[in-house]
Structure 1
Amino acid sequence: MTTAPKVALVTGATQGLGLALVEGLARRLAPDDTVYLTGRDAGRVAEAVRAVPGGGARVRGELLDVADPEAAALLAGRLEERHGGVDIVFNNAVMRVGPDDDPREIIDGYAEVNNFGTTRVLRAFGPLLRDGGRLIVVASSLGTLHHLAPVLHDRFDGLASLDEVDEQTAAWRDAVKDGTARSGAWPGFVNIPSKIAQVAAVRALAERRRERDAARGVLLAAVCPGMLNTPTSALWWDVGDAATPAQGAVPLLDLALGPVDPDHYGQLVRHGKVVPWRP
């Protein structure tokens, strides 16, 4: 009996954690396997592919701008034609925000990448997962209801579909744009509702797929890599003692390549442990 070569894909993979995930996957997978390094700029994708050390799985570059409503589905279609399915997907694409950014000015692009980009990737690549596959959304420990005012919990708790998640995300985005979020109960740091919406998307899709995925050994989860020493994080916090992207990638790679823990399914996982969704 033969086993088909594995296919992995990482979004937002031209630098930082995304690039570290590609390098880790290439190192741990077999030479017949393929890791797709994706990003929205062709030059940066090509440069990042050249920078990945050789000797492991083949690394291929592909353009993918998750802010483009059609891009994820189109790439998923091409990969289905080439390989028949995928085994590992890390949704890592992110638009970062700095302390000096006005949330009202950046919120459209921010939500388009971080949130609607996430649900597009889930919709596009979820159906392509082979038996034993992994679909992992890189989020944050901020992505729980602990960090949201109780009056807002029902906006993201118990949502039944990705469409419902998108509707609530759009409502929050619009409140940021028109200023009502600032005068209401929403946190001022836009990263918090955004991460909560990402985890809510994973939870909503997991409820629809849970039984079938359990039978097929598939893991769908959100993951928190913890604080990383990156230039963007340094704008907000002291990251001198934080992990490097390569170090932060290790528990994520273990989650993607190790045996499935049923308790992780549909949850936010940090360093192998579930981060509770509700207070």
Structure 2
Amino acid sequence: MSNSGAKVAVVTGATQGLGLALVEGLAQRLSTADTVYLTGRDAERVRRAAEAVPAGGARVVGEVFDVADPAAAGRFAGRLRDRHGGVDIVFGNAVMRVGPDDDPRAVVGAYTQVNNFGTTRLLRAFAPLLRDDGRLLVVASSLGRLHHLAPVLHRHFDGLTSLEEVDEQVTAWRDAVADGSARSGAWPGFVNIPSKIGQVAAVRALAGQRREADLARGILLAAVCPGMMNTPTSALWWDVRDAAAPATAAVPLLDLATEPVKPEHYGELVRFGEVLPWSPYPARSA
């Protein structure tokens, strides 16, 4: 068990880029009694990244955690429950990136296994471990909103009430991409769009189940958008010369993780402290 009052934070996909910046920022903002888990799927990269985090602040511990492994989230959450009794901050940041030359049919299976099913497994495993005033934040994108899909497709992700429903819809889309049938329909060719919408839909579905109890305990569950970043992967798609470095992009995410909860952020997609609307249509009054 952890020392009384000590905080425990977890960051997935943390060996480089935004994930590593989140670990470094948490280590600086938390105290020497706290622990930040820097996780990734490659043991050597995890070790090197953890050793390179500047000293001072919270203790940084490297742990292998491959979100693509269906059993890994449950195992890791169980270890942290045994060690600490619960967790205080979780950033779901693990991502498989695709480039313009990748064939969506060839990569969509592995892609969804990390980005989508990895997200829903993380939510299932770690939401029950959140202590009072905890944070469970999924790094998504401004692309994760319904208006990036054709209206005929909105029904696939809007109004979902469980993580199981989200997984079913992601599976159907994944299979349509893999067998080529998505190309003859309204689905966008850029797989990042439905995937990010699936991530935000997962947060919304779980939030619908937990909202009242979580807000009473000071817990924030949300999807977060760091904005455009200057990284080698982003540069494959866009001109990112003027975009923020990961350390800069991490700041508003770290604010959400460490500052008082704003109830309006709960269950939403938040960018730079503001809620990005999920639907392009105004909410109907009761």
- TM-score range (shorter-chain normalised) is over 0.9
Per-residue Cα deviation, 1:151-177 (whole angstroms, up to 9, x for no partner): 010100010100000000000000000
- The aligned counterpart of 2:231 is 230
Alignment of structure 1 residues 48-87 onto 2, 5 Å: 48-87=49-88
**Equivalent position SS for 1:137:** strand
Alignment of structure 1 residues 109-124 onto 2, 5 Å: 109-124=110-125
- The aligned counterpart of 2:279 is 278
Alignment of structure 1 residues 209-224 onto 2, 5 Å: 209-224=210-225
Per-residue Cα deviation, 1:106-150 (whole angstroms, up to 9, x for no partner): 000000000000000000000000000000000000000010010
Alignment of structure 1 residues 125-274 onto 2, 5 Å: 125-274=126-275
Shift of 1:15: 0.3
- The aligned counterpart of 1:47 is 48
Letter in 2 for 1:231: P
Q: Structure 2: how far apart are the matches of 1:275 and 1:215?
A: 24
Q: Percent identity?
A: 77
Q: Say what the alpha-carbon RMSD is for the aligned residues.
A: 0.7
Shift of 1:3: 5.1
Q: Structure 2: how far apart are the matches of 1:204 and 1:278?
A: 14
Letter in 1 for 2:6: P
Shift of 1:4: 1.5
TM-score (norm 1): 0.99
User: Tell me, which stretches of 5 or more residues in structure 1 are unaligned?
Assistant: none
Q: Structure 1: how far apart are the matches of 2:215 and 2:233?
A: 37
Q: Structure 2: how far apart are the matches of 1:271 and 1:182?
A: 34
Shift of 1:258: 0.5
Paired residue total: 278
Shift of 1:210: 0.5
Q: Structure 1: how far apart are the matches of 2:147 and 2:275?
A: 14
Per-residue Cα deviation, 1:217-255 (whole angstroms, up to 9, x for no partner): 000000000000000000000000000000000000001
Off by >4 Å, runs of 4+ in structure 1: none
Letter in 2 for 1:146: H
Matched, 1:28 2:32: no
Q: Structure 2: how far apart are the matches of 1:211 and 1:255?
A: 19
- The aligned counterpart of 1:95 is 96
TM-score (norm 2): 0.97
Q: Structure 2: how far apart are the matches of 1:229 and 1:94?
A: 16
- The aligned counterpart of 1:37 is 38
Per-residue Cα deviation, 1:48-75 (whole angstroms, up to 9, x for no partner): 0011000110000111000000001000
Letter in 2 for 1:258: E
Matched, 1:6 2:7: yes
Letter in 2 for 1:109: A
User: Tell me, which stretches of 5 or more residues in structure 2 are unaligned?
Assistant: 281-286
Q: Structure 1: how far apart are the matches of 2:184 and 2:155?
A: 19
Letter in 1 for 2:30: L
**Equivalent position SS for 1:35:** strand
Matched, 1:106 2:103: no
Letter in 1 for 2:41: R
